[in-house]
């Protein structure tokens, strides 16, 4: 059973110890960086991902001030817990969470390195459609409610 | 002219790029870690230290929930700007800032690695008195208003 939970004084240090596989580490910023970043952007929501009572992942999302749409900026499952479908279930919960909000937008955006095949498959499996390359070198994908 | 300034969206990334000398790096947590930590402890104040318009250092202080006294938890001057007396001036501003607060306490505490001779001298020069070793291996020093 996967759940999204708040990050607080009790679990933030555990969150910064979550790790990606070596070859995935270049794909996204560290959780420590994301947590610090969220301090200065109150619209950025940070969430921990649990499988039962075990912390397995981290996500950051929120409304982008440039286009006023929801973006999922960071999403990771610790290397020890990959390959069990947890990521797909966690993404569904994030979509559900955004969809249930008063400020929900028609679409959710995200971007990933074009060579990040694993993420591409995961995002496609929950309904994201590739839209094209962003000027900053990421593949953009869009989920429509 | 040294000043303490807020850390916000515009200068936090510059703060995390400040660096200690190699041999000082084991003495305190990284600025990135401290910024993330402060997100979950609203009583922790983080401040950037400027010399004119140049960012030169970082500090974190606040009331400790255990003893209700002010503690200076982190204090660093970037390696490029050490040795000019900026640290001493910045510490004086921190003491002044704490002293001017409504919730100011009679004393300010801080701790440092006993082998950190440079910090010992700096803190002594602004009036901190060594009190003895903490159970966690740091030398404790106390400033009395």
Mean pLDDT (whole number) for B31-50? 97
* pLDDT given at position B59: 98
Residue B143: phi, psi to the nearest 5? -110, 130
- ipTM over cut 0.95: no
Residue ranges per domain, chain A?
Answer: 2-144
Cβ–Cβ under 8 Å, residues A112 and A139: yes
* pLDDT given at position A40: 96
Average pLDDT, whole number, for chain A? 96
Q: Is A77 helix (H, G, I), strand (E, B) or coil?
A: strand
Q: How confident is the model at residue B93 (pLDDT cuts 50, 70, 90)?
A: very high
With beta carbons under 8 A apart, name residues in chain A contacting B36.
12, 16, 32, 35-36, 39
Mean pLDDT (whole number) for A9-19? 97
Mean pLDDT (whole number) for B88-106? 96
Q: How confident is the model at residue A129 (pLDDT cuts 50, 70, 90)?
A: very high
Largest CA distance in chain B: 40
pLDDT tens-digit profile of A107-119?
999 999 999 999 9
Q: Do B39 and A12 touch (CB under 8 A)?
A: yes
Q: Do A41 and B16 touch (CB under 8 A)?
A: no
Minimal Cα–Cα distance from B40 to chain A, Å? 5
* pLDDT given at position B23: 87
Interface residues of B toward A, Cβ cutoff 8 Å, are 7-9, 12, 16, 32-33, 35-41
Query: Which fold does the domain A2-144 belong to in CATH?
Result: Aminopeptidase (3.40.630)
Q: Would residue A139 be called left, alpha or beta, if left means φ above 0 and alpha means ψ between -120 and 50 degrees? A: beta
| C-alpha–C-alpha distance, residues B107 and B124, integer Å | 14
pLDDT tens-digit profile of A36-90?
999 999 999 999 999 999 999 999 999 999 999 999 999 999 999 999 999 999 9
């Amino acid at each position: 059973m996967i759940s999204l939970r708040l990050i607080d004084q009790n679990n933030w240090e555990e969150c910064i110890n979550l790790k990606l596989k070596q070859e995935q580490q270049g794909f996204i910023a560290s959780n420590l960086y994301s947590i610090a970043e969220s301090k200065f952007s109150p619209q950025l929501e940070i969430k921990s991902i649990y499988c039962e009572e075990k912390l397995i992942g981290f996500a950051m999302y929120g409304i982008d001030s440039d286009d006023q749409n929801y973006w999922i900026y960071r999403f990771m499952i610790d290397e020890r817990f990959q390959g069990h479908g947890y990521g797909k279930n966690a993404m569904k919960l994030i979509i559900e969470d955004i969809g249930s909000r008063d400020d929900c937008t028609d679409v959710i955006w995200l971007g990933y390195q074009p060579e990040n095949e694993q993420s591409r498959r995961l995002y496609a499996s929950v309904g994201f459609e590739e839209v094209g390359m962003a000027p900053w070198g990421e593949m953009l994908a869009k989920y429509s409610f």
